[in-house]
């Protein structure tokens, strides 16, 4: 059994992991950079060790350093959270090699799902629908043009090593292919050290729907409903919800079964997410699999009543998936607004600085996952997420009105935040009607 967990992360997710560990009675070790010495994850963990300078590459990404801290503090497991080392198969392997439990799937699954072309090929073989596209990696412009003619325009070029929208190019006509192919390859070569590309038919006005799964070490997989994540700006999700306003019982079961099939095809264990695109005609297509706990996991927790972090840790501890998990009942509707320290009136420019006044909202159906407090200085070295406000209601309308009420109650002074932008989206009639797709914010007037 796990005796102590090292948390290889910071911010709100480090706190979320500490909370789960406390409830499970497992002691924790925080690691932190010099920029985070006054952070709450350092205070709330049982032990804390400084691992380097502010820059991520000098601290939260220092693999051997983190392993050493685990050894020195007698931690026997590492929780990577999201971002940083969470989907680094080399790090997961290094944990294994040093007899530490990596709280996530095995390294070979992380690697396999990190290669988006291989993930695609795996899903085709497993019988999970994928977007029409290439079976093989495209290496030259002649093949790219030939494939696009075959698939028919518009198409989308994607980096094999990409994901989350990096290294992607939409190509609407043959004349744009040469330029798009070479710039996408160059971008991928610089960003991932891997220029390999593949191609798909472009799906327009689609929705991003993802399915939460949990798998134990014995081949049991459960799905826990879907999250609607179409409200995003430049591949940064802003508002997530569960259930999706367009997914009914039948579609939920269909997508859920595809997600379980996808997970079984790779022998998945731990918490994970299978991402799908849902087109106008409600056809579903596998897009990617994320081998980590995600930022937006709380909306699923609110509607299922399941503590995903505790279940993820129990799985790492070798427990079987509890029987009741597969019989989950969705209760009501949950929304999450990601609150960032950025100025929506100034093109979302980051707004680091000191928070001089802070008040988190409360009341019925209201949860705020945040690491900030009055007097906290937001470091400029990391992402600008200040916290996540989650509301739960008996239905979508109640979750929305609770969110509006809770955003109004929130006091964050000293920095600009994305709150006014959230308030504008929540007022939008199309949003309120559940009528939107992934390009919703492109022509949203703020
Ligand atoms: C697509 C697509 C349309 N057609 N693939 C974006 C992130 C990465 N997971 C893949 N993405 C997309 N792939 C085809 N064939 C549109 C997107 C996309 C997107 C997907 C989900 C949420 C937001 C998005 C924003 C822009 C593009």
**What pLDDT digit, counting tens, does each position of 410-446 carry?**
999 999 999 999 999 999 999 999 999 999 999 899 9
Q: Which two tokens stand for residue 65?
A: 């350093």
- 438 C-alpha to ligand 1 centroid (Å): 8
Among protein residues, the one whose CA lies closest to atom 24 of ligand 1 = 438
Is any atom of ligand 1 closer than 6 Å to the C-beta of 278? no
Would you call the peptide bond into 228 cis, given omega within 30 degrees of 0 as the criterion?
Answer: no
pLDDT at 165: 76
Is any atom of ligand 1 closer than 6 Å to the C-beta of 339? no
Which among 161, 235, 236 is the best mutation to test ligand 1's pocket, defined by most ligand atoms within 8 Å of the CB? 235
**What are the structural domains of the chain?**
5-86 (3.40.50.20), 132-201 (3.30.1490.20), 207-443 (3.30.470.20)
111: helix, coil or strand? helix
- 226 C-alpha to ligand 1 centroid (Å): 17
Q: Which two tokens stand for residue 335?
A: 């929304």
Nearest C-alpha neighbor of 306 from the set 266, 334, 265, 269: 334
- 441 C-alpha to ligand 1 centroid (Å): 14
Nearest C-alpha neighbor of 138 from the set 165, 111, 178, 110: 178
Q: At what angle do helices 89-97 and 63-73 cross, to 10 degrees?
A: 30
- 235 C-alpha to ligand 1 centroid (Å): 8
* DSSP one-letter code for 133: B
Are 291 and 193 within 8 A, CB to CB? no
| Ligand 1 atom nearest to CA at 287 | 9
In this structure, are strands 47-52 and 28-33 parallel, antiparallel, or unpaired? parallel
Among protein residues, the one whose CA lies closest to atom 22 of ligand 1 = 208
| Ligand 1 atom nearest to CA at 131 | 15
Is any atom of ligand 1 closer than 6 Å to the C-beta of 171? no
Q: Which two tokens stand for residue 105?
A: 């799937």
pLDDT at 429: 98
Give the model confidence (pLDDT) of 92-134 as tens digits. Answer: 999 999 999 999 999 999 999 999 999 999 999 999 999 999 8
Placement of tokens 């706190």 in the chain? 15
User: Given CA atoms 9, 108, 63, 23 in this order, what sign does their dihedral have?
Assistant: positive
Is any atom of ligand 1 closer than 6 Å to the C-beta of 232? yes
b/e burial code for range 167-191 (CB count within 10 A of at least 16 → b): bbbebeeeebbeebbeebbebbeee
User: Given CA atoms 273, 274, 280, 282 in this order, what sign does their dihedral have?
Assistant: negative
* DSSP one-letter code for 267: T
Is any atom of ligand 1 closer than 6 Å to the C-beta of 165? yes
Q: Which two tokens stand for residue 281?
A: 């005609």
Would you call the peptide bond into 326 cis, given omega within 30 degrees of 0 as the criterion?
Answer: no
User: Given CA atoms 290, 379, 46, 64 in this order, what sign does their dihedral have?
Assistant: positive
Are 186 and 200 within 8 A, CB to CB? no
Is any atom of ligand 1 closer than 6 Å to the C-beta of 309? no
The total of other beta-carbon atoms located within 10 Å of residue 58's CB is 15
Q: Which two tokens stand for residue 36?
A: 């985070």
345: helix, coil or strand? helix
* DSSP one-letter code for 203: P
pLDDT at 9: 98
pLDDT at 444: 96
Among protein residues, the one whose CA lies closest to atom 21 of ligand 1 = 208
- 147 C-alpha to ligand 1 centroid (Å): 19
Q: Whole-model pTM above 0.85?
A: yes
Give the model confidence (pLDDT) of 32-62 as tens digits. Answer: 999 999 999 999 999 999 999 999 999 999 9
Is any atom of ligand 1 closer than 6 Å to the C-beta of 288? yes
Distances (CA, A) of 279 to 168, 202, 221, 229, 437: 19, 11, 26, 14, 9
Q: What is the mean pLDDT of each run of 10 residues along the chain (446 residues)?
A: 98 98 98 98 98 98 98 98 98 98 98 95 97 92 96 97 85 97 94 94 97 98 98 97 98 98 98 98 97 98 98 98 92 98 97 97 98 97 97 98 98 98 98 98 94
- 165 C-alpha to ligand 1 centroid (Å): 7
Is any atom of ligand 1 closer than 6 Å to the C-beta of 202? yes
Active site residue ranges: 292
pLDDT at 142: 95
Are 80 and 100 within 8 A, CB to CB? no
């Amino acid at each position: 059994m796990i005796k102590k967990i090292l948390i290889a992360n910071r911010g709100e997710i480090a706190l979320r992991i500490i909370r789960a560990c406390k409830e499970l009675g497992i002691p924790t070790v925080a690691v932190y950079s010099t920029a985070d010495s006054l952070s709450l994850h350092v205070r709330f963990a049982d032990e804390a060790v400084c691992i380097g300078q502010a820059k991520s590459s000098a601290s939260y990404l220092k693999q051997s350093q983190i392993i050493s801290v685990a050894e020195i503090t007698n931690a026997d497991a590492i929780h990577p959270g999201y971002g940083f080392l969470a989907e680094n198969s080399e790090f997961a392997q290094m944990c294994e090699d040093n007899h530490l439990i990596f709280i996530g799937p095995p390294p070979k699954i992380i690697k396999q799902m990190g290669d988006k072309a291989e993930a695609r090929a795996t899903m085709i073989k497993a019988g999970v629908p994928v977007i029409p596209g290439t079976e093989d990696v495209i290496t030259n412009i002649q093949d790219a043009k030939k494939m696009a003619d075959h698939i028919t325009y518009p198409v989308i070029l994607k980096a094999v090593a990409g994901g989350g929208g990096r290294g992607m190019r939409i190509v609407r006509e043959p004349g744009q292919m040469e330029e798009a192919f070479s710039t996408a390859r160059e971008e991928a070569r610089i960003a991932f050290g891997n220029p390999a590309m593949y191609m798909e038919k472009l799906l327009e006005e689609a929705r991003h729907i993802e399915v939460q799964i949990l798998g134990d070490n014995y081949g049991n997989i459960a799905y826990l409903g879907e999250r609607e994540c179409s409200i995003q700006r430049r591949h940064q999700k802003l508002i997530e919800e569960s259930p999706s306003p367009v997914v009914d019982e039948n579609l939920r079961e269909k997508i859920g079964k595809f997600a379980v099939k996808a997970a079984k095809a790779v022998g998945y264990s731990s918490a994970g997410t299978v991402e799908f695109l849902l087109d106008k005609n409600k056809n579903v297509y596998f897009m990617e699999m994320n081998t980590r706990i995600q930022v937006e996991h709380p909306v699923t927790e609110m509607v299922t009543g399941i503590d995903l972090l505790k279940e993820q840790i129990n799985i790492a501890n070798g427990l079987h998936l509890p029987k009741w998990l597969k019989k989950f009942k969705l209760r009501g509707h949950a929304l999450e607004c990601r609150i960032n320290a950025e100025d929506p009136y100034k093109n979302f420019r980051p707004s680091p600085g000191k928070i001089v006044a802070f008040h988190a909202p409360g009341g019925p159906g209201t949860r705020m996952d945040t690491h900030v407090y009055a007097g906290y200085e937001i470091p400029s070295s990391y992402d600008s997420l200040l916290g996540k406000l989650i509301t739960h209601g008996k239905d979508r309308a109640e979750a929305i009105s609770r969110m509006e009420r809770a955003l109004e109650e929130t006091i964050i002074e000293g920095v600009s935040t994305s709150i006014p932008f959230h308030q504008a989206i929540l007022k939008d009639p199309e949003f309120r009607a559940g009528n939107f797709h992934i390009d919703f914010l492109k022509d949203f007037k703020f």
